Chains A and B, each alone.
Chain A
């Protein structure tokens, strides 16, 4: 029973990992660039959550997600419009890597300056300890809420991509950014919205992860590594693949911790390594 409980908890945890990577998958899928500062934005959202929770202690961190998501959408939109659109159409992939790497370094140091190096966390109150019994298994309410929220966001993204006019434009822009211009679409504006969506999703993951575990100004690297693993394991640019990749990493990490409590995320990293060897195009089979 303990193993089933561990696997269920891994699935619940993995949904959150999927959310970590889906923003990155969206950026890779539509713009074909890698945002090295993705992890720093996840951590920044967590710090903003801590600040807001301090300023308005009566509000639950999950409620604080609403203003944070709106702010991060605007931040992503602005960042893309002002900075990243300058390099996104360059054929040299290093331009985007170097620019976002520089951005990550600046953000990390600014967060260190502003919040210090001490570990922080967001408290979820009684919700953090609440659990329900399903078929004899004790399942935490908070992880269940997190998986529900992650799944709802994935479904919303699916609806936007497949059922809306903007989703059609987004997919077409990912296919060929020159040809959409012949249809009156300015790819730069599409990229602004995509980056806004990516950072909004990253901010949700950042706040939820801050409720589950400690973080510092240096946690961005670890978050980025996890996001990468989720995206690559799932299949570059495939967002349902990201969900699947996240769940697999979550399950393997928790099962690994049962075997070896000091292992940390070692087994999740090993799964990534084996996954890349066996299925270089990812679980969804999406091409890079």
Chain B
């Protein structure tokens, strides 16, 4: 399989604080990669570097053959990189449907339309005229995923999508990944829940203090091994 995303020697900074140190990672076309790690490990920073929301960085980020490390976020998103941010970050002034339509501003040709997003999450069709703030946490996650899908991304980045949700809702959201993968998109799942993320992924990377401490095939890595890498013990 060819690499869709290749990251080499990525350092990222918040002022003088170095959040990522020499991070290397790759995502192949069509696969799901889980990025696990405790709070403060650098997972969200890594995603923000990819989408261009952190400019204080050095290293190489190749996406679909294009070097994107120095590009502005709005230009990167046009290449087919979409993100479901931590905390959803929906637009409260817009209705559910308007939120979804915002995702289609940079629409590439593909399977995802308002209709297919509503098929994936039927509850959103009923709630389409409501403000997202009137929805439950799980439904808000569905809007955030739908919004990211509306651009027909090559790579979908999901940041902590199970955080604060009931197990049943998490299950429903994780089930949707099968259909997302079938549409041809690769997925990067950032999670604190090692078991769930590694269960849904082809490969796993474990981060600790801004460095990759373990990586490998999700089926071959044991939970004990992952836990040790997770806590650095």
Q: Which of B91, B106, B151 contacts A179 (CB 8 A)?
A: B91
Quick check: A184 and B94 within 8 Å, CB to CB?
no
For residue A178, CB closer than 8 A to chain B, the reply is: yes
Q: What is the bound-complex CA distance between A184 and B74, given in angstroms?
A: 4
Quick check: B93 and A174 within 8 Å, CB to CB?
yes
Q: Give the chain B neighbours of A181 by CB distance below 8 A.
A: 52-53, 72-74, 77
Quick check: A168 and B102 within 8 Å, CB to CB?
yes
Q: What is the bound-complex CA distance between A174 and B85, given in angstroms?
A: 18
Q: Give the chain A neighbours of B83 by CB distance below 8 A.
A: 182
Instruction: Closest A residue to B53 by CB, please name it.
Output: A178
Quick check: B91 and A182 within 8 Å, CB to CB?
no
Quick check: A179 and B89 within 8 Å, CB to CB?
yes
With A179-B89, A182-B85, A184-B106: A168-B101 Cβ-Cβ less than 8 Å: yes
Q: Give the chain A neighbours of B72 by CB distance below 8 A.
A: 181, 186
Q: Give the chain A neighbours of B103 by CB distance below 8 A.
A: 183
For residue A175, CB closer than 8 A to chain B, the reply is: yes
Instruction: Closest B residue to A162 by CB, please name it.
Output: B98
Q: What is the bound-complex CA distance between A168 and B101, given in angstroms?
A: 9
Quick check: A176 and B89 within 8 Å, CB to CB?
yes
Quick check: B93 and A172 within 8 Å, CB to CB?
yes
For residue A144, CB closer than 8 A to chain B, the reply is: no
A residues 179-214 near B (Cβ < 8 Å) are 179-186
Quick check: A183 and B89 within 8 Å, CB to CB?
no
Q: Give the chain B neighbours of A175 by CB distance below 8 A.
A: 91-94
For residue B78, CB closer than 8 A to chain A, the reply is: yes
B residues 129-157 near A (Cβ < 8 Å) are 147, 151
Q: Give the chain A neighbours of B92 by CB distance below 8 A.
A: 175
Interface of A: prevailing SS = helix
For residue A171, CB closer than 8 A to chain B, the reply is: yes
Q: Which of B52, B53, B106 contacts A183 (CB 8 A)?
A: B106
Instruction: Closest B residue to A168 by CB, please name it.
Output: B98
Task: Give, as a whole number of angstroms, the nearest-CB distance from B75 to chain A.
Answer: 8
Interface string of A258-269 (1 = CB under 8 A from B): 000000000000
Quick check: B94 and A183 within 8 Å, CB to CB?
no
For residue B168, CB closer than 8 A to chain A, the reply is: no
Instruction: Closest A residue to B148 by CB, please name it.
Output: A182
Quick check: B105 and A184 within 8 Å, CB to CB?
yes
Quick check: A184 and B78 within 8 Å, CB to CB?
yes
Task: Give, as a whole number of angstroms, the nearest-CB distance from A57 to chain B.
Answer: 46
Q: Which of A171, A176, A182 contacts B73 (CB 8 A)?
A: A182
Q: What is the bound-complex CA distance between A171 and B93, given in angstroms?
A: 6
Q: Give the chain A neighbours of B93 by CB distance below 8 A.
A: 171-172, 174-175
A169, A172, A174: residue with the most chain B Cβ atoms closer than 10 Å: A172
Instruction: Closest B residue to A174 by CB, please name it.
Output: B93
With A175-B91, A176-B91: A182-B77 Cβ-Cβ less than 8 Å: yes
Q: Which of B73, B77, B105 contacts A169 (CB 8 A)?
A: B105
Quick check: B77 and A184 within 8 Å, CB to CB?
yes
With A168-B94, A171-B94, A186-B72: A180-B102 Cβ-Cβ less than 8 Å: yes
Pairs A–B under 8 Å by Cβ, sample size 12: A169-B102, A169-B105, A172-B94, A175-B94, A179-B85, A181-B53, A181-B74, A182-B73, A183-B77, A183-B147, A186-B72, A186-B74
Binding site for B on A (CB under 8 A): 165, 168-169, 171-172, 174-176, 178-186
* Besides A168-B98, A168-B102, A169-B105, 6 other A-B contacts (C-beta < 8 A): A169-B102, A180-B102, A183-B105, A183-B151, A184-B78, A184-B106
Q: Which are the 8 A-B pairs with shortest beta-carbon distances?
A: A184-B106, A181-B73, A171-B93, A175-B91, A172-B91, A184-B77, A181-B74, A186-B74
